[in-house]
Amino acid sequence: MAIAWKLLADVRERHQRSAMQAVGRDQRALRACEARAQEAEQHWLQQQQAKALHWQSTVAAVGEGGCSVAQLRQAGAWSHALDSRIVTAGAAVVQAQAVVAMAEGALDTSRAQLRRASADVEKARQMQQRARAEQRAQQERRQDEATEEASVLLWSAARRA
């Protein structure tokens, strides 16, 4: 059974190109996930900063003596609302980081597939080269045998004459 090494190498190269495209796609997806995670983290930090500013202004108002009990209750309620926003933003950060981790895993997987595809291409090329070398060696042997047989026939004919 003859193996079409050229065809096999071509197929393996197509697999390699496909794996390279997958790596590129996964890298772009990872960058997008990282950007969303960074945005989520920035939002979380803004919420924390909003709460800190709220309490700074409340403390300043109390220090100036211009703050009633009702205003303190309202400040506490607003602080509680800000806490809820902080918790929600924190959960979004955790979720975005989980998506980043999954995207990193997908990229690692596609990189491993690219390494395997590249190794398969190299192996197919080596096998193709070996097959060519074996074919050349076989042709040389056949040529040597034909030359030897012709020499024997010539010698035999010269001896008869």
DSSP letter string over 139-157? Answer: HHHHHHHHHHHHHHHHHHH
Is residue 131 assigned to a domain? yes
Is residue 133 assigned to a domain? yes
Is residue 134 assigned to a domain? yes
Is residue 1 assigned to a domain? no
Q: Is 13 exposed, middle or buried (0-12, 13-18, 19+ CB in 10 A)?
A: middle
Is residue 104 assigned to a domain? yes
**Structural domain boundaries, residue 153:** 7-160
Quickly count: other Cβ atoms within 10 Å of residue 21's Cβ. 12
* CATH code for position 116: 1.10.287.1700
How many domains does the chain fold into?
Answer: 1
Whether the CB-CB separation of 55 and 118 falls below 8 Å is answered with no
pLDDT of residue 68: 82
pLDDT of residue 69: 83
Identity of the amino acid at 64: E
From first to last of its 161 residues, what are the pLDDT tens digits of the chain?
567 878 888 899 999 999 999 999 999 999 999 999 999 999 999 999 999 999 898 888 888 877 788 888 998 999 999 999 999 999 999 999 999 999 999 999 999 999 999 999 999 889 889 988 999 999 999 999 999 998 888 888 888 87
Is residue 2 assigned to a domain? no
Is residue 70 assigned to a domain? yes
Instruction: List the structure tokens of 79.
Output: 């602080």
pLDDT of residue 2: 64
pTM of the model: 0.72
- What would the DSSP string read from start to end of 41-107? HHHHHHHHHHHHHHHHHHHHHHHHT---HHHHHHHHHHHHHHHHHHHHHHHHHHHHHHHHHHHHHHH
Is residue 108 assigned to a domain? yes
pLDDT of residue 106: 97
